[in-house]
Amino acid sequence: MDEELLTIGVFARRSWLSPKALRLYERQGLLLPAAVDEHNGYRGYREEQLETARLIARLRRLDMPLATVAAIVAAPDPRTRAGLLGDYWAAQEHATAVRRELVTHLRSRLLDDRESLTMYEVQVRDVPRQTVLTEQRHVNAQELQAWIDEAIGRLLKAATGHGDGMTGPCFIVYHGEVNEDSDGPVEICLPVDPSGPLDSAVRVEPAHREAFTRIIKAQVAYPQILSAFDAVAQWVAAQGLPVSSSPREVYFADFGAAAPSDEVCDVAFPLV
Kindly tell me if the per-residue pLDDT of 116 is higher than 60: yes
- pLDDT reported for residue 117: 67
Q: What is the mean pLDDT of residues 87-105?
A: 87
Kindly tell me if the per-residue pLDDT of 148 is higher than 90: yes
- pLDDT reported for residue 198: 63
Beta-bridged to residue 211, according to DSSP, are: 124, 269
Best-predicted range by mean pLDDT (97-106, 190-199, 254-263) = 254-263
Task: Let me know if the fold of 6-74 is the same as that of 119-271.
Answer: no
- pLDDT reported for residue 50: 94
Residue 190 has phi, psi (to 5 degrees) of -125, 110
Please write the tens of the pLDDT for every residue from 185-201: 999 999 998 876 666 58
Q: Which CATH class is domain 119-271?
A: alpha beta
Instruction: Name the average pLDDT for the chain.
Output: 90
- pLDDT reported for residue 64: 94
Q: What is the mean pLDDT of residues 14-30?
A: 91
Q: What is the mean pLDDT of residues 129-142?
A: 93
Q: What is the mean pLDDT of residues 219-224?
A: 89
Q: Is 190 strand, coil or helix?
A: strand
Please choose, from the candidates 118, 122, 93, 103, the residue with its C-alpha nearest in 3D space to the C-alpha of residue 262. Answer: 93
- pLDDT reported for residue 86: 95
Kindly tell me if the per-residue pLDDT of 161 is higher than 90: no
- pLDDT reported for residue 199: 65
Kindly tell me if the per-residue pLDDT of 18 is higher than 80: yes
Kindly tell me if the per-residue pLDDT of 115 is higher than 80: no
Q: Is 183 strand, coil or helix?
A: strand
Q: Name the pLDDT band for 98 (thresholds 50, 70, 90).
A: confident
Please write the tens of the pLDDT for every residue from 228-255: 999 999 999 999 999 999 999 999 999 9
> Is the Cβ–Cβ distance between 233 and 114 less than 8 Å?
no
Question: What is the Cα–Cα distance from 192 to 259, expressed in whole angstroms?
Answer: 27
Q: What is the mean pLDDT of residues 176-180?
A: 88
- pLDDT reported for residue 42: 87
Kindly tell me if the per-residue pLDDT of 27 is higher than 80: yes
Kindly tell me if the per-residue pLDDT of 2 is higher than 70: no
Q: Name the pLDDT band for 125 (thresholds 50, 70, 90).
A: very high
Which has the minimum average pLDDT: 74-83, 153-162, 215-224? 153-162
What torsion, rounded to 10 degrees, do the Cα atoms 232, 237, 240, 245 define?
60
Please write the tens of the pLDDT for every residue from 39-94: 888 889 999 999 999 999 999 999 999 999 999 999 999 999 999 999 999 999 98
Q: Domain coordinates of the chain in residue numbers?
A: 6-74, 119-271
Question: Does the 6-74 domain belong in CATH 1.10.1660.10?
Answer: yes
Question: What is the Cα–Cα distance from 140 to 174, expressed in whole angstroms?
Answer: 11
> Is the Cβ–Cβ distance between 122 and 211 less than 8 Å?
yes
Burial of 219 (0-12, 13-18, 19+ CB in 10 A): buried
For residue 128, is the peptide bond before it cis, meaning its omega torsion is within 30 degrees of 0?
no
